Amino acid sequence: MTPMADAVFPRIELIRQRMLDLHLDGLLLFDMKNIRYLTGFTGSEGICFFRDGVGVLLVDGRYITQAQEQVRGFDVRLCRDKLSGLSEAFSDSVGMTVGFEASVLTVDMHLRLRKQLKGTTLKPLGDEVQQFRILKDGAELALISHAVDVSHRALLDTLFLVRVGMTEKEISRELEYRMKVLGAEDLSFPTIVASGPRAALPHAEPGFRKIERGDTVIIDYGAVVEGYHSDETCTFVVGHLNSDVGNAYAIVKEAHDRAIDAVKAGISCREIDHVARNCIETNGLGAYFTHGTGHGVGLDVHEAPRLAPTSETVLEKGMVVTIEPGVYLPGHWGIRIEDMVLVEQDGCRVLTKTSKEIELLN
Ligand code: ZN
Ligand code: ZN
């Protein structure tokens, strides 16, 4: 059995406990990442449910063999379609309270379920289910580290090729190709390569703009290994560094470093965001820091917790989050510096490997 399959069993206990805490008689899971986390099933469609202390994975004919091979600790059942499978499984559920992921179930499916499961209370769940993947175990950390390593090596290989006159699209294609050659099964998201004034768009798509001397170039990228993501942003300067960009880079880097220094178990996400934001604001660039400071990373590239001014979540040992302050001067340049860190009891461990000292490319 793989380490991931071994990891599944304690996760089932986690769900049973959560159901007790929430006074649920049943729980429906539609989010494929949650299902993968709990069962080990990697197919693109299925439903997982718990009732009477038993976990069941319902899949259609396309996935039954795969599910039987991959899943341990769950009853794997074949169903014609989701609705009929659930109707059958919950035909005797009158009076039961059954939770579901409010942010995942479609309105259409909710209406149909209500019709089919008359007399059953369907209870929408938010953070209660969104957060059960929030702490990473050893098997997950190993895969995240692998994804980080693949993406880092691909970046180093790509930087050798970057020259004035190359387009953003050419750089992103080279980087994506190398991540896949080095073992990424997928990209964490379409790679961002944004140069010159386009770097001021925090989520720019790579375009046909050619790299010029004096540009800042933001590269935000990541690899997926066995479902687990990496996420890193580097900002490079091409040819020569002007003093405005140099000063702004130093401010963003200081915000990034201070936030990482502040990360430890017991501190709230809001406080970490404040450390980064305060540093940028006191240096006069607060108006140009227009997004949160970070987010959790795991089976989703963006998952709980959020590191933002309103996030009350308290960091715990075993969370993996990004620290990614940025400033964007519209029409001129943008700078973002992003690392992934593992929260530890008295501090954190930086997982990403690329140096964040300012680097000049040819
Ligand atoms: Zn990123
Ligand atoms: Zn990110």
116-134 pLDDT, tens digit per residue, is 888 899 999 987 887 889 9
Tokens of 289: 């820091």
Q: Which ligand is nearest to the CA of 302?
A: 2
Distance CA 159, CA 176 (A): 12
For residue 309, cis peptide bond before it (omega within 30 degrees of 0):
no
For the cut 80, the answer to whether the pLDDT of residue 8 exceeds it is no
Q: Where does the pLDDT of residue 362 fall: very low under 50, low under 70, confident under 90, or very high at 90 and above?
A: confident
For residue 266, the model assigns a pLDDT of 98
Question: Which residues make up the environment of ion ligand 2, defined by Cβ < 5 Å?
Answer: 231, 322
Weakest mean pLDDT among 16-20, 175-179, 187-191: 16-20
pLDDT number for residue 130: 72
Residue pLDDT, tens place only, 267-326? 999 999 999 999 999 999 999 999 999 999 999 999 999 999 999 999 999 999 999 999
Q: Which of 165, 122, 152 is nearest to 222 (CA)?
A: 152
Q: Considering the chain, what is the average pLDDT of its residues? A: 94
Q: How far is the CA of 254 from the centre of ligand 2 (A)?
A: 18
Element (H, E) at 254: helix 243-262
Rounded CA gap, 290 and 325, in Å? 9
d(C-alpha 219, C-alpha 193), whole Å? 5
Say what the pLDDT of residue 159 is.
95
Q: Would you state the pLDDT for residue 12?
A: 83
DSSP 8-state symbol, 284? T
Band the pLDDT of 1: cuts 50, 70, 90: very low
Q: How far is the CA of 303 from the centre of ligand 1 (A)?
A: 13
Which ranges of 32-167 would DSSP assign to H, the alpha helix? 32-39, 64-70, 82-89, 107-116, 127-130, 138-159
Ligand 1 midpoint to CA 192 (Å): 8
**pLDDT over threshold 60, residue 145:** yes
pLDDT-based confidence at residue 7 (cuts at 50, 70, 90): low
pTM above 0.95, yes or no: no
SS3 78: strand
pLDDT digits (tens, 9 = 90+) for 33-46: 999 999 999 999 99
**In this structure, which ligand is nearest to the CA of 336?**
1
Q: What is the pLDDT of residue 33?
A: 94
Residue 300: nearest ligand to its CA? Answer: 2
